[in-house]
Chains A and B, each alone.
Chain A
Amino acid sequence: MSRRKTERLLNLVICLLATRRPLSAEQIRQAVPGYDRDGDEAFQRMFERDKNELREIGIPIEVHRDPWEDEPGYRIQREAYELPEITLEPDEAAVLGLAAQVWQRASLAEAASGALLKLRAGGVATDAGPGEALELRVDTRDPSFPALWEAVRDRRVVRFDYRPAAGESVRTRTVEPWGVISRRGKWYVAGFDRDRQGPPASSGSAASRGRSPRSAGQGWSRCPKGSTCGRWSASPRRRCRSAPPSSRYGRARARGCGRSRGPYARGARDGTRWSWSSPTPSGWRDGSPAWAPT
């Protein structure tokens, strides 16, 4: 991002936060330096890109469509933008520092350190934790991890090629991921296998393996607060009983990347490949975003 662009975006954020009334694109063009020099079409494209970039970093831009106006209006609501007031006692700050340390050099390292930085910026004293006497490390080198994190976060169905523990054949699975757990350093996904759904009596092959779905699960929408699937602590097998019906556990292929650690170090093979399945049918992706994109 060029310096000029960073300046323009920062001025845009300040402008949209400062305004009480939603501003039209034209008003924004007049108010924010950096837009003024361009023609109409160039400005429109630039403004669209800028809005998208701000949304990508989590800035909630509101769009108002007033029936009396031709053009939509934009603004950022302070309450939606700002980190709420938060104060931590010294022991709480120490715990938070320790929690951030868990993801060091893992795929969530940036997210964890970004969170700490925001809290510090908000005046929270965070601590580095108990320092050298304790090292906590959760391995997220599994190449499936980032895809699963996103799928659970965005409530999306995943499709992957999966080879069962002792099987020869690789099958493509389409799964609504309910949750992801790390056990003994390996990641597992639990979810509803769409291809195997149906009345329990017909799921003979699954029953013979002792992991029969008890009832046909419908598209799962949201883990209810305090429900069993939200508090996993037992082993995947045991958890089968307390998880929602028709749960099915698949090993996300583990220990993959890095120096000669696993199959993925060798490039493509017939292991697990992830892809998004889309569009997602109704009933599955019902978590509506905090703000609607234009």
Chain B
Amino acid sequence: MSSTADRLPRLLALVPYLMSHPGAQVDEVAAVFGLSEKQLIDDLQLVWMCGLPGHTPGDLIDVSWDGGEIIIDNADTIARPLRLGIDEASALLVALRMLAATPELAEFAHGDALPRVVAKLEQAAGEGAAAVSSQFAVDVESAPDAAARVREALTGRRRLSLRYYVPGRDEVTPREVDPTRLVMADGRTYLEGWCYRAEAMRLFRLDRMLTVEVLDVPADPPAGAEPIDVTQGVFRPSPTDELVVLEVTAAGRWVAEYYPYEQVEELGEGRMRITLRARDDDWTLKLLLRLGDTGRIVSPQAMAAKVQQEAERALALYAQAS
């Protein structure tokens, strides 16, 4: 909130903040409002020039910041902040309802406080925000069985032993994980942690944990373990993964909506050429079998033969049956 267009709304929040926090320190207030100390002093100087009509010294707002301690006076007209806008209140209400609808997150977040906050916020915001926010919903898939133990391990800083399903290879692998965070992204909940099998930070989907056991071992992830950046989505191919080129019909366009790609090219009649990075051959093979007659592989050439072979193997099952 530092651009000049935001300045008036900021001042209308700053004055009430200073009124309700008498003696607040310049550096603290600057941090709350996301400003430098210099910007904050500039705001205070501006406020000091304003006041009631007449603009005699008795009408103007009185502000001082001697020794870094801010004292404000004679600002009763704008002593309360502006009420919440519909966007502001709705953004919070939609998020609160999402938490309330997802038990594993709700418990992490003092679940019993949720309905109280929603009620208070709805009351403060008025009918408009309540109506708008009820028309937006974020659906989070629930995995309550695993969630309780994952939460226990996170709060108690204990190591977890998992049996984890990997659909790409269709196998269940045992893992020991030092949990670091619970991450909700793309409508699913994940445990982030140091995986001793991979010797790296990994995200584990809670609904793919077949068993979860809290071990009597303190969690001790390596000091250099970096959190995984999920701002661009959970699934991000590595730049070293192999490039695959597909051609799909209109019915296969969903590939470009579901997977991150490097390039797409329209071929007319709804057909599309998609270049993406595949994590391994198995993934590519499964994608192509799933596409059936709605997509084919252009490169690498070697994959075409593999797909053909797999498709024939599947067909052979029906040849025997009939």
B-contacting residues of A (Cβ < 8 Å)? Answer: 1-3, 6-7, 9-11, 13-15, 17-18, 31-33, 53, 57-59, 80-84, 86, 88-89, 91-92, 94-96, 98-100, 102-103, 105, 108, 110-123, 129-130, 132-139, 149, 152-153, 163, 165-169, 177-186, 222-223, 225, 229-233, 235, 251, 253-255, 258-263, 266, 269-270, 287, 290
A223 to B83, CA, bound (A): 23
**Chain B: CB-nearest residue to A232:** B137
Would you call A135 and B139 a contact (CB within 8 A)?
no
Chain A CB within 8 A of B166 CB: no
In angstroms, Cα B77 to Cα A91, docked, is 32
Q: How far is the CB of B275 from chain A (nearest CB, A)?
A: 9
Q: Do residues B78 and A13 form an inter-chain contact, with CB atoms below 8 A?
A: yes
- Contact A262 B184, CB 8 Å, known A122-B16, A122-B80, A167-B250: no
Known: A14-B50, A121-B17. A266 touches B264 (CB 8 A): yes
| Interface contact B263-A95, CB-CB below 8 Å | no
Nearest residue, chain B, Cβ from A105: B231
Q: Answer whether residue B254 sits at the interface, using C-beta atoms and an 8 A cutoff.
A: yes
Chain B residues contacting A233 (CB-CB under 8 Å) are 101, 137, 139
Is B124 an interface residue, CB under 8 A from the partner? yes
Decide: A223 and B134 in contact? CB cutoff 8 A: yes
Contact of B258 with A57 in the complex, beta carbons under 8 Å: no
Q: Across the interface, do A84 and B83 meet the contact criterion of CB distance under 8 Å? A: yes
- In contact, A223 and B96 (Cβ under 8 angstroms): no
Q: Is B322 an interface residue (CB 8 A)?
A: no
- Minimum distance in angstroms from B257 CB to a CB of chain A: 6
Q: Please tell me if B172 contacts chain A, counting CB pairs below 8 Å.
A: no
Determine the residue in chain B with the shortest Cβ distance to A28: B53
Q: Do B256 and A262 have beta carbons less than 8 Å apart?
A: yes
Contact residues in A for B253 (Cβ distance below 8 Å): 163
Chain B at the A interface: mostly helix, strand, loop or mixed? helix
What are 19 A-B contacts with C-beta separation under 8 Å?
A: A57-B9, A82-B80, A88-B120, A92-B117, A96-B92, A96-B117, A103-B91, A112-B95, A115-B92, A116-B92, A118-B13, A122-B16, A133-B181, A134-B105, A135-B183, A178-B135, A184-B187, A261-B232, A270-B266
- Docked Cα-Cα span, A269 to B187, in Å, equals 27
Report B's interface with A, CB cutoff 8 A: 1, 4-5, 7-17, 20-21, 32-33, 46-47, 49-55, 77-78, 80-92, 94-96, 98-99, 101, 105, 108-110, 112-114, 116-117, 120-121, 123-124, 128, 130-132, 134-139, 141, 154-155, 181-188, 192, 230-233, 250-251, 253-254, 256-258, 260-264, 266, 269-270, 294
Which of A33, A135, A231, A287 makes the CB contact (< 8 A) with B55?
A33
Residues of B within 8 A of A119 (CB): 81, 84
**Could you say which residues of chain A place their CB within 8 Å of the CB of B254?**
165
CA distance A84 to B119 in the complex (A): 13
Chain A residues with CB under 8 Å of B135's CB are 152, 177-180, 223, 229-230
> A-B pairs with CB below 8 Å: how many?
308
In the complex, what residue of chain A is closest to B34 when comparing beta carbons? A113
Distance between Cα atoms of A261 and B38 in the complex (Å): 40
A149 to B232, CA, bound (A): 21
Bound-complex Cα distance A80 to B126 (A): 10
The answer to whether A32 touches B136, judged by C-beta atoms less than 8 angstroms apart, is no
Q: Which residue of B lies closest to A137 (CB)?
A: B185
A108-B94, A136-B184, A262-B257 known; 16 other A-B pairs, CB under 8 Å? Answer: A17-B77, A31-B54, A83-B81, A98-B109, A102-B138, A112-B92, A118-B83, A134-B181, A137-B231, A165-B254, A181-B136, A181-B138, A184-B141, A185-B233, A261-B232, A287-B128
Check B117–A95 contact: CB distance below 8 A: yes
| CA gap between A178 and B47 in the complex, in Å | 43
- Residue in chain A with minimal CB distance to B231: A105
CB contact between B8 and one of A57, A91, A98 (< 8 Å): that residue? A57
Q: CA–CA, A100 to B7, complex, Å?
A: 21
Chain B's nearest CB lies how many Å from the CB of A181?
A: 5
**Chain A residue at smallest Cβ distance from B258:** A255
Assembly CA distance A253 to B264 (angstroms): 15
A137 touches B95 (CB 8 A): no
What is the bound-complex CA distance between A166 and B271, given in angstroms? 11
Whether B233 and A255, one on each chain, are in contact in the complex, defined by CB atoms closer than 8 angstroms, is yes
A290 to chain B, nearest CB (A): 8
B114 CB contact (under 8 Å) in A13, A95, A137, A183? A95
Neighbour of A134 across the interface among B55, B86, B182, B231, CB < 8 A: B182
Which residues of chain B are near A18, meaning CB under 8 Å?
A: 52-53, 77
For B123, the chain A residues whose CB sits under 8 A away are: 84, 86
Nearest-Cβ distance from residue A96 to partner chain B, whole angstroms: 6
In Å, the complex CA distance between A86 and B116 comes to 12
CB atoms of A179 and B136 under 8 A apart = yes
Contact yes or no, B109 A81, CB < 8 A = no
**Are B109 and A130 touching (Cβ within 8 A)?**
yes
> Which residues of chain A have C-beta atoms less than 8 A from B33's C-beta?
117
Q: Which residue of A lies closest to B7 (CB)?
A: A6
A167-B270 contact in complex given A82-B80, A115-B89, A120-B32, C-beta closer than 8 Å? yes
Asked if B78 and A111 make an inter-chain contact with CB atoms under 8 angstroms apart, the answer reads no
Across the A-B interface, give the 7 residue pairs with the lowest CB-CB distance, nearest first: A185-B186, A31-B53, A115-B88, A99-B95, A166-B251, A123-B20, A168-B270
What's the minimum C-beta distance from A100 to chain B, rounded to whole angstroms? 6
In whole angstroms, what is the CA distance A168 to B270 when docked?
5
Residue in B closest to A8 when the chains form the complex, CB atoms: B50
Q: Are A89 and B116 in contact (CB under 8 A)?
A: yes
Instruction: Assess the B50–A86 pair: CB atoms within 8 A.
Output: no
**CB-CB nearest in chain A for B132:** A153
| Closest CB in chain A relative to B120 CB, distance in Å | 6
